A and B are shown apart, each in its own frame.
Chain A
Amino acid sequence: MSSVETVSLSKSAQRLRDRFSGSPLSERVEVFDLDLPTIETSPADWIAVARFLRDDPECGFDLFLDLAGVDNLKRRGRAARFEAVFHLLSLSRGEHLRVKVILPDGTPPGLPTVCEVWPAANWFEREAFDLFGFDFPGHPNLRRLLCHDAFVGNPLRKDYAPGQRWFFAEEDLRMPDWAANSEERAGHFETQTISIGPSHPATHGIIHLIARLDGEKIARAETQIGYMHRCFEKMAETHTWNQVIPFCDRLNYVSAMINGVGYVRTVEKMLGIEVPDRGRLVRTILSEFSRIMDHCVNIGANLVDIGGLTNFWYLYQPREGIYGLLEACCGARLTVSYVRVGGLAIDVPEDFVPRCRALLESIPKFLDDVDRLVTRNRIVRNRFAGTGTVTRDQAVAWGFTGPVLRSTGVPYDVRRARPYDFYDRFDWDVAIATDGDNYARYLVRMEEMRQSLKIIRQALDVFPASGPVSSDDWHVVLPPKDAVYHDMESLIFHFKLIMEGIRVPSGERYEWIEGANGELGFYAISEAGPGPYRLKPRPPCFPMMAAYEKIIVGGSISDAVATLGSLNIIAGELER
């Protein structure tokens, strides 16, 4: 960590402390300075603190990022067993904040809901209710979210066995109460309730939408998820730090590389090690290629949903080229697992730069084709423009980030707001639009692909022909195989790393990067064990899916399909 960063962090923590000391809450919160400014409070004061943090002009934490439950059962020196850890973002200030609500022992864990303060909290609280058993008095719809309805217990508690399953049959599925009764009004024909999904081509496999239709208009809707909850967080707790990387790649499997980079950056920050420039450049280049792939699939699939199949084939062609590049680097096409804590698994192939340059030549052609076919296409405009509209205020209140937030006119991009790797040295623009509808999202994604190409071109210009891609800290990175065979010390390092894994010092860290969908954060807690004590990804499409049932109300059912596609819901990331 650079010294500059430390000073600015303390400053913001200091400002928070000053702010609180002048308010009526001064006695009831404690401000700490960890990797982020951190506030500790109790459930009784949480609502007041939350309102203060959002409304105070000096704080202005308007964007709800994440809620992570923590079970301290096996942690040393903790006052209470359960903590609810919130992460907030102030868009105007570009600052992150962590709030810990300590849930006292002796009573069932619970804290008041903050749905009123940040509507985005709704699903995050349901998730904590489901996985940790936290009670949220006042929550409008406190039901299980990720686990199925016949599930017993709270799986992320430390005393829950990772493999304990519960039998679920079709009749156990709980539909919302309002769906059971039809609604009849005088002078009006009857509304009907339909169930779309979980297996439906327009829901991309696994999302369950229950909608009440008044004619063709949606009068009320509710989405059910959990059809892809594959226990990422529990798996992370039962594996070592490096073993978690393949699990991370399967979060957003459309742009797997970015997830891996986000995760290892968190661990590297906890360890305090630096990755050589060449390794970081490879990560940057492949991340931007992954972003292009992600947007290609998103736009292609979205157009398929509204009936335009051709573009899908056009947009899949550049993907195959990028797959070829990834395969040459690491042997896998989709879920690459190429990053390691401290660098990369292996060096890039000799023809890495020519391959990238060839892709830079070929990809714009496909984008231009799609541009010509789609951007001014009247059918597309009729279907996209003015549908699925999200205003700026709604997007912030619902916790959106990424292209969907930028399409409402908020220029928040982590690569610009807090540049990591080399993004501050390259010349590129943050793509924004103002309408906030499906068409604006399409335009933002198209432009982002071109900006990514621009970034890659500049990264290739400064790419060193040779040099290490991984750190030479042999406590973290495996020594070269040659040295392991000929040098006793290297052999010992190799043995210790394989048998024991990386030892990450105790502590916690939240690191965030710009994923293809928005801010992708990883909140990691280490207890100096072989693996993470707790690892919570901040999934960018989770708040969007939560808001989906509100966006589509009032629109027609066919627009709802177009909207679902343009929000880019990736199940692996949504439900983890």
Chain B
Amino acid sequence: MKDFTRAGSLWENPRSMPLSGKGNVLPAYDPKAAGGGADFFTTRLETMVAWARSNSLWPLPFATACCGIEFMSVVSSHYDLARFGAEVVRFSPRQADLLIVAGTVVDKLAPTLRRIYDQMPEPKWVISMGVCASSGGFYRAYHVTQGIDEVVPVDVYVPGCPPTPEELMFGILELQRKIRSGEKSRDERSAARAAAL
């Protein structure tokens, strides 16, 4: 078992370093180990902000279909998304920073999705929940958008049809890790499509 209670151990262990090298997870503060009892720690401001952001996500559920029902399960008392600091579900894009696209997006809805994404203030992230949102799923058909990354950039894809609540939670944890490490993912394909819209 590694001792993560001491601030120093994080820096000594290279595996705990963030992948991108841009930021760092916040060192845990332990007054006993500090020796002097002074109530402060040092970090970079952006690390601190990223940590705060990652633990206070305000999701906007763009729930269209079956995945929306599973999303309801995730925020319900049984699975309780509140444990991960992402339970303040907002239906206004202007108050949200995480767009969870849960369900099939069809061509008629795609411009609306883009409009909602544009209305969200920066910084913002997108989780594509389920295979329909990720790739069109098994609807390889005349009216179904073959993945929402045709219109908006996606940070985390959660597979499943629909994904179990645990899978979506893993996706959110994965996004939190991404936010803390400062990784960005804005793929070229969606940018090109968005320019045309």
Contacts and interface: CB of A to CB of B under 8 A. Distances in A.
Contacts of A146: 143
B69 A334 contact: yes
A333 B161 CA distance: 10
A108 interface: no
B117 to A, nearest CB: 11
A11 interface: no
A232 to B, nearest CB: 9
B69 A253 contact: yes
Contacts of A167: 107
Contacts of A254: 69
Interface string B124-153: 000000001000001111111000000000
A230 B139 contact: yes
B106 A227 contact: yes
A interface, size bucket:
35 or more
A234 interface: yes
A227 B77 contact: no
Interface stretch (B27-35, B48-56, B60-68, B183-191): B60-68
B88 interface: no
B162 interface: yes
Contacts of A204: 63
B107 A168 contact: yes
Contacts of A179: none
Given A254-B69, A571-B65, A229 B111 contact: no
Interface in A135-188: 146-148, 151, 155, 160-170, 173
Contacts of A323: 73
A297 B69 contact: yes
The SS class assigned to the A binding surface is loop
A148 B62 contact: no
Given A201-B91, A316-B72, A250 B65 contact: yes
A253 B72 CA distance: 13
B108 interface: yes
A199 B77 CA distance: 25
A320 interface: yes
B136 to A, nearest CB: 9
Nearest to B77: A313
A406 interface: no
B197 A228 contact: no
A304 B161 CA distance: 26
Contacts of B107: 148, 165-168
Interface string B72-114: 1100111000000000000100000000000110111111111
Nearest to A321: B78
A246 interface: yes
A170 B141 contact: no
Nearest to A166: B107
A169 B142 contact: no
A293 to B, nearest CB: 9
> Which of A146, A317, A572 is the most central at the interface, judged by chain B CB atoms within 10 Å of its CB?
A572
A229 B112 contact: no
B66 A313 contact: no
A200 B162 CA distance: 22
B142 A163 contact: yes
Interface in B144-169: 144, 161-162, 164
B25 interface: no
A231 B142 contact: yes
A254 B64 CA distance: 13
Interface string A282-318: 0000000000000001000000000000001100110
A568 interface: no
A335 interface: yes
Contacts of B65: 205, 228, 230, 250, 253, 571-572
Nearest to B109: A227
Given A148-B143, A198-B112, A227-B108, A205 B77 contact: no
9 smallest CB-CB distances across A and B, nearest first, come from A231-B141, A253-B66, A148-B108, A170-B111, A201-B91, A316-B76, A227-B109, A320-B78, A230-B139
Interface of A: 146-148, 151, 155, 160-170, 173, 198-201, 204-206, 226-231, 234-235, 246-247, 250, 253-254, 297, 312-313, 316-317, 319-320, 323, 333-335, 571-572
Interface of B: 62-66, 68-70, 72-73, 76-78, 91, 103-104, 106-116, 132, 138-144, 161-162, 164, 197
Given A168-B110, A173-B111, A227-B64, 9 more contacts: A147-B143, A148-B106, A166-B142, A205-B65, A227-B112, A230-B132, A235-B141, A313-B76, A335-B162
